[in-house]
Amino acid sequence: MPTIPPDRAGVPERAAVSEPSAASEHAATSDRVAGSEPTAASDHAVVSEPPIASERAAASEHPAGSGRAAKPESPPGSGRAAVSERESHQAREVAESFGADAERYDRARPSYPSALIDKIIATSPGPEVLDVGCGTGIAARLFQAAGCRVLGVDVDERMAGLARRRGLEVEVAKFEDWDPAGRTFDAVVAGQAWHWVDPVAGAALAARVLRAGGRLAVFWNSFRPPASLAEEFAAAYRRVLAEAPLFKMPASAGADAYAALCEKAADGMRQAGAFGKVEQWRFGWDRFYTRDEYLDAALTSGFTNQLPPATLRELTAGIGAAIDAAGGGFTMDHTTVVVTAVRLRTGPDQ
């Protein structure tokens, strides 16, 4: 396992990669360290991102495995049209809301396992990386630190500005409208962002800018707190937002709550007609959160950052009280799920 430098705040403490099953391009088995992989029979309730679930499948009206996209909902009383009536990539008011507190986002959002970064680099033909929806550069800086030359594209100037101050080159555009100006890359990646991109148009543009043999890899972090805390977190949401779909996923779903998002991403790659076999990878890791760290991360959510202030205060008070009762901190079980495919040597634009 690659050594994780101690100065990379938020980087996973332990990581293990699971390889795609030989029997299916959708199956994955886990080599998670020392029994930390939850079983299918686990009674742990699902909290996907601290609680950043509205940005992905747990906030969808369509169950995991339905093949439908995640559709974040607007909070009750927000005055916004229900995002659940649209595809997630059409929810521009949510997709473009994260820059309202870019410093918090960069500080609090969890990072990605070094095993993921290493594997993408090892299976790409060169060091040129395009990071789609790069945000403040959380993933991009990991690739940069590993020796890659990274260009970011993000729709939000506020997020891009912070990424530039961190030493990254970023262009501001909606990815589907971005002009590559003839540039090509060895890998196109998207961390916690591909659901904001039209999956077919995005895959087609990725194929256009990838060199032959280049890799498209899109990935998301999933979260599973200890069972007792998961139930307390769910209760806090139910008290404040009784109709929220956030915690209606099956208790044993874990990373499988991302099945719909992953399938939609895979379908887009297939429809682009320029990629080989689509694979799914999983990387298991753990991170300890203090009360303040977890609440800080929760406030970066596309769901919570649209709540009325009074509702948000009530919600965070309930979550904070649960963590206090558990001793002021806890270890979160994470899985990073990846959908990936290699650009064929023949195909459109090639």
pTM: 0.75
State residue 157's pLDDT score.
94
Superfamily for 25-342?
Vaccinia Virus protein VP39 (3.40.50.150)
Instruction: Answer yes or no: are the C-beta atoms of 195 and 134 closer than 8 Å.
Output: no
Domain segments of the chain: what residues? 25-342
CA 103 from chain centre, in angstroms, equals 18
State residue 211's pLDDT score.
97
Instruction: For residues 72 and 64, give the distance between their C-alpha atoms in angstroms, rounded to a whole number.
Output: 14
Would you state the structure tokens that stand for residue 12, as one six-digit string? 């996973």
CB atoms closer than 10 angstroms to residue 31: 12
State residue 199's pLDDT score.
96
Burial of 125 (0-12, 13-18, 19+ CB in 10 A): middle
Shortest CA distance to 122 belongs to which of 183, 213, 15?
A: 213
Tens-digit pLDDT string for the chain (350 aa): 333 332 333 445 444 444 443 333 333 333 333 223 332 223 333 333 444 333 433 333 332 233 333 333 333 233 333 333 445 444 445 555 555 668 888 898 999 999 999 999 999 999 999 999 999 999 999 999 999 999 999 999 999 999 999 999 999 999 999 999 999 999 999 999 999 999 999 999 999 999 999 999 999 999 899 999 999 998 998 888 765 554 444 444 567 778 889 999 999 999 999 999 999 999 999 999 999 999 999 888 767 767 788 998 999 999 999 999 999 999 999 999 999 999 998 654 54
Shortest CA distance to 278 belongs to which of 62, 27, 15, 17?
A: 27
State residue 258's pLDDT score.
85
Shortest CA distance to 115 belongs to which of 140, 94, 89, 146?
A: 146
Instruction: Answer yes or no: are the C-beta atoms of 74 and 83 closer than 8 Å.
Output: yes
